[in-house]
Amino acid sequence: MSLAIHIVLLIALPLLLSCVIRKTKALMQGRPGPPLFQPIFDLVKRFRKGETVSSTASWIFRANPLVGLSIALVVAMVVPWTGAEPLARGSGTADLILIVYLLAMARFFSLLAALDTGSAFGGLGASREAALAVLIEPSILVSLSAVALASGTMDLSVALQSPVRGTVALLSGSAFLLAALAELSRMPVDDPTTHLELTMIHEATILENSGRNLALIETTVALRTAVFFGVGVQILLGKALRSPDNAIVSAASSAAAILMLGCLLGVLEGIAVKLNWRRVPSFVAFSTALAVMSAFVAAVGA
Amino acid sequence: MTMQFHAPEAAITAILVWGAACPIGLLRPPGAARVAALLSIAACGLCLTAAFLPGGIVAVRPPIGLAGVAIGFRVDSLSRWFLGLIGVVGLAASIYSPGYLKHLRGRARPGFVWSGLTLLFASMAGVATAQNAIVFFAFWEMMAISSFLLVATEHERQSVRRAAFIYLGATRIGSAFLMAGFLWAHASTGSWNFHDWILRGSDASGPAALILVGLLVKAGSWPFHLWLPIAHPAAPSPVSAVMSGVMIKTAIYAVFRLLVMGGVEAPWIGWTLVAAGAISAFWGVLFALLQHDMKRLLAYHSVENIGLILLAAGVSLVARQASLTAVSDLALAAGLFHTLNHGVFKALLFLCAGTVDANAHTVELDRLGGLIQRMPWTAATFFVGSAAICALPPLNGFASEWLLYRGLFQLGASGPSGEIRLVGLLLLGWVGLVGALALACFAKAFGISFVGQPRSKEASHAKEGEPAMVGASVFLAVLCAALGLGAPLVWDAMHGLGFVRTPQAWTLPILPLTLVGALSMALIWLGMRQLARGRPTRTYITWDCGFGALTPRAQYTATSFAQPIVRLFGALYRYEMEVVVEGHGRRHFPTEIRAESSHEAYLESKVYSPALGTVIKLSEGLIMRLQAGSIHQYLLFMVLTLGLLLWLGGVL
């Protein structure tokens, strides 16, 4: 039962989330914006189009979207980001180090695929994305393990569903979500709608992807956004959202919280200014500092 | 008494075979090098076999010399672990070398390399099996000399000569510390046998400190790492593979033998190893990012990985002192497993770099590019090696780093005091930082040299390496995958060998997860193929903004790729970028644009250079006075020394 809910949310929520974010953002910018489900229509259209591949590209470029999507699917299946119980709880599959390194593998492919076409933009995007990862990786690892410390296991399927002290949850949840903004290439670190190549980060790495290839990458991004938001929500509000006897209620309230977070992001993207690339490190430093504080509280127990 | 053939006998036979191959390499006839190669392969096989045989002791007491000390070999689980590493990497290097040495024709005689290489193998196996300090030290010095000769293979190049002398100097300093430590330990315990060296508390501090410094110099740990990125790239590639993959691990072996699993227990060693390891790991990967020479980059990564291994060893000691046996076992297993894994993937990467060098005639990243089209096998194996060194699942690097992470996490969860728990968590984040830097560095190494457009004529005319060279790389790449996917079996083997004494299960379902991932990839691929029906894929040029064909010069270079990260940590070094624009209408029609970057670590420019300068100045002045060329004076020195020694002998 719980697994079925998880799978339903896994299919529905990512797409819905990207619709909500885009609509809120449009409203914040004072325009009606396209219909709510436009992102889904776009995706369907892209899946049905032909694609153009650079003649310089090798198998890495072709493999990148496949690797990215399947890693995102595996991660989404094993991590309890929907509040419902995912696949194989407590089997060690949702190991937090494994999850982080699976995402690193997806990043490795996307960096190489960006360089693969021999375009200067690809190099620019890859170089910046690699630097961003260096900044956020410690924060993500420390904040997640501070949460996991209470249960004494690195298995997120257990750790995210066991009680955590309020201070730790608040600190590491905020650290995680701030890092997630950078990891997911959202404002104020990167502007997903930019069309000026020189300011792009994520968009520059996928500049050469088109048609089906691009659609796969966009699906991956939507899925990853939902998973990261879901994990953030579980850390921050897990205690309040869980109802032990009713799986549907806890999943529904988690889904609502994720969508709310999407609205918040839309508002943020409407009012925030994209940071100068050189000032990104000081933005991520907030996340790292919060993560270290959460580790302090979790370990020393102040 | 029946003669049994156990691990020590196998190891000694391997040492003897290598020892026989060594002079054969020096012979004139053209077939001599081939014979040496075959003997070396056979000995590597024997060495590998020894890793799977039961251990034991073989000792011969020579009638003269050595003051009653036996030439003893003692093989236990730890020795067997390292014999396995020597065997595997030695085998790959021996298969690879004949093809590579052809490319060195005219610059070095293959026979010399073979005799150096076999001597190096023999001495490493000797170090890993020596029963007592005397035998250990003899092999240790043989190892230093043979590797010095190998670094100096292409001694006609000035840079190589310089590298060889720096390396020689480093080995002398390391050996001096090590010898002093050994003598002290002998004075305290009255024995040369490692087994009898049981020192606790303040008795242990003196010898442990000296031994530790000596070993850290050899291992290339921060702050004694300076020689490593100079010496390793100067050697021929298979030699670099052996040096980075195995030789520096002999120091790790001794760290485990004496300080971590042995009887020399000073209370501060654990935290010292943690600090040295944590700094080395970060330092190595950061400076690797600054490099644009593939072999130098790989050499700096050895500093990083040695750091991770030392960190694991330190955590193991710290946890043991806090009587957290389970955590201690985890960290110990992480360190040993990573030692093996690093040997395999680093050797693989160096062999690939050698293949690139032999076929594209350069390892300068900014002159490569697009090799994946021309050298598909080398590219694929280098890709596997890069993924393994970045600890990407499901390869072997991930398995051992995961153990390290798990150890750190458990230290954070169950440490005896808040401080230790916090340090555990922060170290976990630190290793994550190192991991992200390594990923960036190998995205650079692979992305600049193997994909994109070729940046030079050499790169665009490169051809795939010889079958034996590619075969050796494929062998190591397969091993990377096997050790990763079979990590639960390795974990069980570590229980069997006694490295892990607490019953702990391997909790990561690495193989099923890999299969699920592969299956989902296959399904997505099939779905995409269905969608592609009737909508053909068009192959076209990379988007050039409508300005006409892109040139390879438009691509990012290694330097520009690393620049954002390099700028982040600018406090540790002086980084300069010099851009020169020439020509009349300089702004719009430059005739030439040159950009050059240079960097200099403050550790080198502010600490080592002045210190070295002082030593040279002092010794110059001193030598001028001492070696004045007068026989009388020299005779006086001799008499004085003799008198001093006699006096010392009387006093002590």
Q: Which of residues 266-295 of A touch B (CB under 8 A)?
A: 277, 281, 291-292, 295
Which of A108, A197, A206, A214 would best serve as a mutation to test chain B binding (most B beta carbons within 10 A)? Answer: A108
- Asked whether the predicted pLDDT for residue A108 surpasses 90, the reply is yes
Domain boundaries, position B618: 610-651
- What is the C-alpha separation between B56 and B460, in angstroms, rounded? 54
Half-sphere exposure of B312 (CA within 13 A, CB side): 26
Residue B443 lies in a domain: yes
Per-residue pLDDT of A162-190, as tens digits, reads 888 889 999 999 999 999 999 998 888 88
Predicted local confidence at residue B82, as pLDDT: 96
B385 lies in the same domain as B334: yes
What does pLDDT average to over chain A?
90
A95 lies within 8 A of chain B by CB: yes
B495 shares its domain with B630 = no
- pLDDT in the model for residue B296: 94
DSSP string across A184-242: TT-TTT--TT---GGG-SHHHHTTT--HHHHHHHHHHHHHHHHHHHHHHHHHHHHHHH-
Are B564 and B635 found together in one domain? no
Within an 8 Å CB–CB cutoff, is residue A66 touching chain B? yes
The angle formed by the CA atoms of residues B59, B91 and B331, to the nearest 5 degrees, is: 70
| Residue A82: closest CA among A33, A14, A175 | A14
Residue of A nearest to B568 (CA): A281
Q: Which of A250-259, B26-35, B166-175 is least confident?
A: B26-35
Do B297 and B443 sit in the same domain of this protein? yes
Percent of chain B with pLDDT over 70: 98
Share the mean pLDDT of chain B: 91
Q: Is the pLDDT of residue B379 over 50?
A: yes
Q: Give the residue from B516, B536, B568 where a domain finishes.
A: B568
**CA atoms of B255 and B317, how far apart (whole Å):** 11
Q: Do A91 and B442 touch (CB under 8 A)?
A: no
Decide if B356 is inside a domain: yes
B305, B335 Cβ separation under 8 angstroms? no
Query: Is B564 part of a structural domain of the chain?
Result: yes
Residues 6+ apart with CB under 8 A from B164: B148, B151, B152, B155, B231, B234
B428: nearest CA partner in chain A: A142
Structural domain includes residue B96: no
Closest CA to B75 of B160, B26, B33, B14: B14
pLDDT, position B588: 75
Please indicate, yes or no, if residue B205 is contained in any of the structural domains: no
In this predicted structure, the answer to whether residue B56 has a pLDDT above a threshold of 50 is yes
C-alpha distances in Å from residue B613, one per residue of B159, B177, B584:
20, 21, 45
How confident is the model over B327-350, as pLDDT tens digits? Answer: 999 999 999 999 999 999 999 999
Residues B7, B13, B19, B21, Cα dihedral to 10°: -120
Q: Do B436 and A123 touch (CB under 8 A)?
A: no
* Whole-number Å distance between alpha carbons of A24 and A33: 9
Q: CB-CB: which of A66, A131, A208 is closest to B524? A: A66
> Do the beta carbons of residue B294 and residue B351 sit within 8 Å?
no
| Chosen domain end from B568, B602, B622 | B568
Q: What is the mean pLDDT of residues B93-110?
A: 86
Q: What is the DSSP pairing of strand A52-54 with strand B538-540?
A: parallel
Amino acid at B239: V
Alpha-carbon gap, residue A148 to B560, rounded angstroms: 38
pTM of the model: 0.94
In chain A, the number of structural domains is 1
B412, B538, B541: residue with CB nearest A145: B412
pLDDT single digits (tens) B547-596: 777 788 888 999 899 999 998 898 888 888 888 888 776 677 788 888 88
Same domain as B621, residue B497: no
Is there a domain that residue B495 lies in? yes
Complex ipTM, two decimals?
0.95
pLDDT at B65: 66
Domain that holds residue A287: 2-300
Same domain, B465 and B322: yes
DSSP string over A100-166? HHHHHHHHHHHHHHHHHT--HHHHHHHHHHHHHHHHHHHHHHHHHHHHHHTTT--BHHHHTTS---H
Query: What is the band of A160 on the pLDDT scale with cuts at 50, 70, 90?
Result: confident
Cα A291–chain centre separation: 17
pLDDT of residue B575: 85
pLDDT, position A107: 95
pLDDT of residue A5: 87
How far apart, in whole angstroms, are the C-alpha atoms of residue B262 and residue B197?
8
- A60 and B499 Cβ atoms separated by less than 8 Å: no
Contacts of A141 in chain B (CB under 8 A): 428-429, 432
C-beta atoms of A126 and B520 within 8 A: no
Task: Say whether B424 and A117 touch across the interface (CB within 8 A).
Answer: no
Specify the number of domains making up chain B.
2
Per-residue confidence (pLDDT) for residue B1, from 0 to 100 = 40
In a domain, B261, yes or no: no
Chain B residues in contact with A130 by the CB 8 A cut-off are 439-440, 443-444, 561, 564-565
Residues forming beta bridges with residue B597, ordered by sequence position: B577
Residue ranges of A 221-240 with Cβ closer than 8 A to chain B: none
Lowest-confidence region among A239-243, B248-252, B311-315, B640-644: A239-243
Residues of B in contact with A140 (CB under 8 A): 432
* Residues facing residue B58 across a β-bridge: B73
- Pairing of β B264-265 and β B538-540: unpaired
Contacting residues of B for A91, CB less than 8 Å apart: 509
